[in-house]
Amino acid sequence: MSEFAEQLKKIRAEAVSVLQKVSDAKELEAVRVEYFGRKGKYTLTMKGMAKIPASDRPAMGSLSNQIRNELTQKIETVASQIAKKEREHQLLSERIDITLPSRHSQIGKKHPITQTFEIINSIFHNMGFQIAEGPEVELEYYNFDALNTPADHPARDLQDTFYVEDGIVLRTHTSPVQIRVMEQEQPPIRVIAPGRVYRRDYDISHTPMFHQVEGLLVDRDVSFSQLKGVLYSFAQQMFGKKTKVRFRPHFFPFTEPSAEVDISCPFCQNGCRTCSGTGWIEILGAGAVDPNVFKSVNYNPEEYTGFAFGMGVDRIAMIKFGITDLRLMLENDMRFSEQF
Ligand code: PHE
């Protein structure tokens, strides 16, 4: 046998035994280069073909092809074995134990203010009130003028009200919604208007943004005693059957007569910190709709009467949930909201 043929067979035997020891893709690639790379053993040996006598060439050609095919095949086989092994290894190492208990993701809670709004809304809904809304950036006209609040009223002072621009304010109460509703509809009217309001105030018990729910009822022959009945019923549903309600004379430009309304302190019998030792907590302002307000929406005050009230939702939430610091409401701390 020619030296050339012998050389090729040696390469084959050697390559076959090397391939048996290969254990990963990197090693396999090194072996491929060692034999079939540009300077590989097989490649270099094949350069000797030029010196083979023409008569031997067909035989040598077919031998070298056969060896190359055989080795290429083997390399491919080993490659697919390695790939399979690696995939199995990966599947094993990335195995998920589906019997492990899951880690629970934290579930949010409704903010106490939201919860309080929902309770208030549902109490009044059950008494036949519908929900109305108005803008937080409001015309001075709706916030003050139409509510019988003259230009020289102290509430209109820059010290108390956020002015956006001339004639436009951040509403200081939800009462402008009364006007918007009455402009749109004719009596009988029975609405509440929950929402945010803004005043230039900031201390332990005041934040520049807070929440109110307005109430408005207009019809023929509406009396102050009906206002009392509605608010008694609300207070007892909100704070419990034992709750007492007290009306104190007060003044609002848009109601006449007017009152501030207190509930008996749910935390004590005869005075604690929450009620400043008085046994009573103020929760809202109310009164009979002033005839001047009816005139600004073209209702006939001889034909219709009504009552209105506006309650402080933050205060009510603090009482309802026993929260002592108003600022906690604004911190968005889950440890806080989780408690309610
Ligand atoms: N708007 C008043 C306030 O913010 C509350 C109020 C509403 C009083 C309706 C009477 C009638 O203090």
Answer yes or no: is pLDDT of 236 > 80.
yes
Q: What is the SS3 string spanning the chain? A: CCHHHHHHHHHHHHHHHHHHHCCCHHHHHHHHHHHHCCCCHHHHHHHHHHHCCCCCHHHHHHHHHHHHHHHHHHHHHHHHHHHHHHHHHHHHHCCCCCCCCCCCCCCCCCCHHHHHHHHHHHHHHHCCCEECCCCCEEEHHHHCHHHCCCCCCHHHCCCCCCEEECCEEECCCCCHHHHHHHHHCCCCEEEEEEEEEECCCCECCECCEEEEEEEEEEECCCCHHHHHHHHHHHHHHHHCCCCCEEEEEEEECCEEEEEEEEEECCCCCCCCCCCCCCCEEEEEEEEEECHHHHHHCCCCCCCCEEEEEEEEHHHHHHHHHCCCCHHHHHCCCHHHHCCC
Alpha-carbon gap, residue 123 to 177, rounded angstroms: 20
118 contacts 211 by C-beta, under 8 angstroms: no
**Facing residues of 168 across strands?**
139, 165
pLDDT of 229 reads: 97
pLDDT value for 336: 86
pLDDT of residue 31: 93
pLDDT above 80: residue 270: no
In tens, the pLDDT along 306-325 reads: 999 999 999 999 999 988 88
pLDDT at 103: 85
pTM exceeds 0.85 for this model:
no
Nearest CA to ligand 1 atom 2: 310
293 pocket-lining for ligand 1 (C-beta < 6 Å): no
Name the more confident of 317 and 332: 317
Cα 111 to middle of ligand 1, angstroms:
24
276 C-alpha to ligand 1 centroid (Å): 23
* Residue 135: pLDDT over 90: yes
> Which of these ranges, 69-83, 113-127, 212-226, has the smallest mean pLDDT?
69-83
From the CB of 309, is ligand 1 less than 6 Å away? yes
Closest-lying ligand 1 atom to the alpha carbon of residue 312? 4
**Percent of the chain surpassing pLDDT 90:** 74
Average pLDDT over residues 55-82: 92
Task: Kindly report the protein residue whose alpha carbon is nearest to atom 10 of ligand 1.
Answer: 286
Cα gap 143→174, rounded to integer Å: 8
Whole-angstrom distance, CA of residue 267 vs CA of residue 261: 18
Closest-lying ligand 1 atom to the alpha carbon of residue 212: 4
Nearest partner of 308 among 253, 237, 265, judged by Cα: 253
Write out the two tokens for 45: 């040996």
- Give the residue-averaged pLDDT of 61-88: 93
How would CATH label the architecture of 112-337? 2-Layer Sandwich (3.30)
Task: Render pLDDT for 143-165 as a digit per residue (tens, 0 to 9).
Answer: 999 999 988 888 788 789 999 99
Comparing CA positions, the residue from 244, 253, 239 lying closest to residue 287 is: 253
Q: Is 332 left (phi over 0), alpha (psi -120 to 50) or beta?
A: left
Q: What is the mean pLDDT of residues 83-100?
A: 89
321 CA distance to ligand 1 middle (Å): 23
Q: Which atom of ligand 1 is nearest to the CA of 175?
A: 1
Average pLDDT, the chain: 93
Helices 224-239 & 112-126, crossing angle to 10 degrees?
Answer: 130
pLDDT of 273 over the 90 cut = no
pLDDT band at residue 108 using 50, 70 and 90 as cut-offs:
confident
- Ligand 1 atom having least distance to the Cα of 173: 4
CB 309 within 8 A of CB 285: yes
Q: Which comes out higher in pLDDT, residue 193 or 267?
A: 193
For 258, list phi and psi in degrees, rounded to 5.
-125, 160
Question: 245: which strand partners?
Answer: 263
pLDDT at position 1: 58
Residue 283 CB less than 6 A away from ligand 1: no
pLDDT at 156: 82
State residue 151's pLDDT score.
87
Summarised one tens digit per residue, pLDDT across range 156-194 is: 887 899 999 999 999 999 999 999 999 999 999 999 999
Residue 13's pLDDT is 92
Cis status, amide bond into 194, omega within 30 of 0: no
Instruction: Please work out whether the CB of residue 308 comes within 6 Å of at least one atom of ligand 1.
Output: yes
Q: What is the CA radius of gyration of the chain?
A: 44
Sheet holding 255-264, edge to edge: 130-131, 189-198, 209-219, 305-312, 280-289, 255-264, 245-252
* Cα distance between residue 272 and residue 204, in whole Å: 17
195 lines ligand 1 (CB under 6 A): no
